[in-house]
Amino acid sequence: MDTARLQHHPALPPVLRGLLRGRRRATASAALSGPSLAERLEGLTAEQRTALVLEAVTANVSTVLGHAAGDAVGGTQTFRDLGFDSLTAVELRNRLNTATGLRLSATLIFDHPTPAALAEHLLEQLAPAAPSVLAELERLEAAVATAGAADLATLATRLTTLVRTLAGADADGSDLEAATDDELFETLDTELSIS
């Protein structure tokens, strides 16, 4: 049977679709080798990570449904509208388990009903949001409490530069060069608390 010819036949009976679909799935399974999705996310911007995960989800959705490689699956269509049932849901979950290295729930597509929602969920699992700046500051404060005397001088210099940058002053001190004598004396008086 020439399945390649049947692939483009508009009135392909469902029995034969199953044969074609099985062939595509085997080919697509081989494409999952290589770096994991989590490894491919490293070093990407937030937008690039979102696009990569959505692309991975829609590619796997297309494969599970037996679509040709070029057939686009919309990110906002529900899995139900795409034709998913419980068996295809489990197949998609298994493929995504392999692609991501995660252990995903069997109810995955029912909990996240569109490819975009599923991609967002996977992205949260693969690349959790970076800690907030304030959380990092608290971590730094804890590290400073245990730092040695030699490190404290270097740390003080770097933190002073950082504070100047945050305040809008040039880190190299060029703002001092432009200051008048009166401004310099006023700054010294303020910094040293001289009345």
CATH (domain of 76): 1.10.1200.10
Same domain as 48, residue 122: yes
Instruction: Name the one residue in this structure whose structure tokens are 């049947």.
Output: 6
Has residue 6 been placed in a domain? no
Residue 159 has pLDDT above 70, yes or no: yes
Looking at the structure, tell me whether residues 46 and 72 fall in a common domain.
yes
**Residue where a domain terminates, one of 111, 126, 141:** 126
Distances (CA, A) of 15 to 19, 22, 69, 80: 7, 11, 21, 21
* 140 falls within a domain: yes
Please state, in angstroms and as integers, the Cα–Cα distance from residue 94 to each residue in 61, 64, 90, 149, 179, following that order.
12, 10, 6, 54, 66
pLDDT at residue 29, as a whole number: 44
The reply to whether 119 and 161 lie within a common domain is no
Please report whether residue 47 resides in a domain.
Answer: yes
The region of weakest confidence among 54-68, 148-162, 172-186 is: 172-186
Instruction: pLDDT band for 137, please (50, 70, 90 cuts).
Output: confident
The tens digit of pLDDT for each residue in 1-12 reads 566 666 666 666
Q: What pLDDT, on a 0 to 100 scale, did the predictor assign at position 28?
A: 42
**Domain of 139?**
133-192
First to last CA, the chain: 98
Distance CA 96, CA 82 (A): 17
Residue 145 located in a structural domain: yes
Instruction: Provide, rounded to the nearest whole percent, the portion of the chain with pLDDT above 90.
Output: 24
Model confidence, pTM? 0.53
Query: Are 75 and 94 members of one domain?
Result: yes
